[in-house]
Amino acid sequence: MKWSRWRQEFKGLCIRSSNCASICNTEGFPDGKCEGLRRCCFCKRSC
């Protein structure tokens, strides 16, 4: 699996990875998690 760019559709700080994963699922990605100092939501997909 490869991490794609951060999701601009995710508003605010990414605190819970489960919330990020839910947003990623609606966008067609199988998984997502919060990363980095700015707490951005990153979605995961197969390459």
Q: CA-to-CA distance for 24 and 40, rounded, in angstroms?
A: 12
pLDDT at 45: 81
Block residue for tokens 């699996």? 1
CATH topology assigned to domain 2-45: Defensin A-like (3.30.30)
Q: CA-to-CA distance for 29 and 23, rounded, in angstroms?
A: 9
- Helical H segments across the chain, by residue range: 17-26
* Mean pLDDT, rounded, for 20-33: 88
Taking the domains of the chain in order of start, what are their residue ranges?
Answer: 2-45
Q: CA-to-CA distance for 28 and 30, rounded, in angstroms?
A: 7
Query: pLDDT digit string (tens) for 31-41?
Result: 888 888 888 88
Say if CB 21 and CB 31 are below 8 A apart.
yes
